[in-house]
Structure 1
Amino acid sequence: MSRRMEYTIAFDVPAEKMYQDFTSREYWQSLMGAYRQLSPSEITSFTSDERGTDIVFVQEVPRSELPAIARSVVPADMVITRTQHFDPFDHAKNQATGHYAASIPRGPGRFGGKYVLTDTDSGSQLRLASVCKVSIPLVGGALEDLILHHIKYLFDAEEEFAAHWISRHH
């Protein structure tokens, strides 16, 4: 059985401006700089064209920093590959959609989701719908809960980063 989580991030700028940030290399390089303060993180691929924008980056979490239940199934430092895709901005609907995923080599599960960036009365919001599935008998559900718990903190941190980005760039 998989676990699901809905999460909304609010921004003080219109959706189209936030989309321009999300699809700029500068934004992602700056985000990686913030992540590097915690652990090794780097962009491995960035493309943007008429089909949309794709970003792939890798983050490393030392095994010693993993919770005990995770260390029981992860034999080494955890290398997480994250992918982000933003479809082209839809001017008729004044929104953008996309999807994201995270994977661990030889990892026994999957994490991903879809998002929609839309305008609000005070700026814009990014609605994320995530799904987590860990295929390990007996501990899979506990690991799914743990992953989603930490994903919430990750989304909180990314919302805070975006707020600082907006204050410096808009």
Structure 2
Amino acid sequence: MLDSKLSTPSRLKPNDRILFLDFDGVLHPDDVYRTRRGLVLRAPGQLMMHAGILVEILKNFPQVKISLSTSWVRILGYRRACAALPPELQALTVSSTWHSRMPRAPLEGYDMYSRYQQIRAAVTRAGLTNWIALDDDPFESWPDHDRRLIRTDPDLGLSSVLTQDELQARLRALMETE
């Protein structure tokens, strides 16, 4: 049974240390499609196959909270997207960049923005200063001047040791900020 906190996304607080988390290309390969049977990975492996890696990394950073920056929230809703994660990550998840009160029509509002713009909007709304993002950023929407993105290889995601090392270094730096 899902925790009751999963039914409604919590608000982020300005002093929170946030990891904006994408799923596709991060927790499993980016080859995910919506079918009549639900979301299906059309690559070797399984959905959320690298989530355990993130669980282990975040054990060393208990102050970090997760905000979902994945299209899964838009497609499935916050509760179902969060429920796809292992319980350890569900417990850390406090929000998402998309909320049900946003327009659902395609190419309206939220859908017009890049992932970077979606995250920046959430950051601005919450007044966040301590955050990073883990995303494969397939459209390369992230501006070069903003170094808060840990860009994953869309096929390897968090299985890449280099990505794991970069994430840990960025999390350590995030803990050192005021």
The normalised TM-score by structure 1 is: 0.28
Larger radius of gyration: 1
The normalised TM-score by structure 2 is: 0.27
Greater strand percent: which structure? 1
Larger relative contact order, structure 1 or 2 (CA cutoff 8 Å, min sep 6): 2
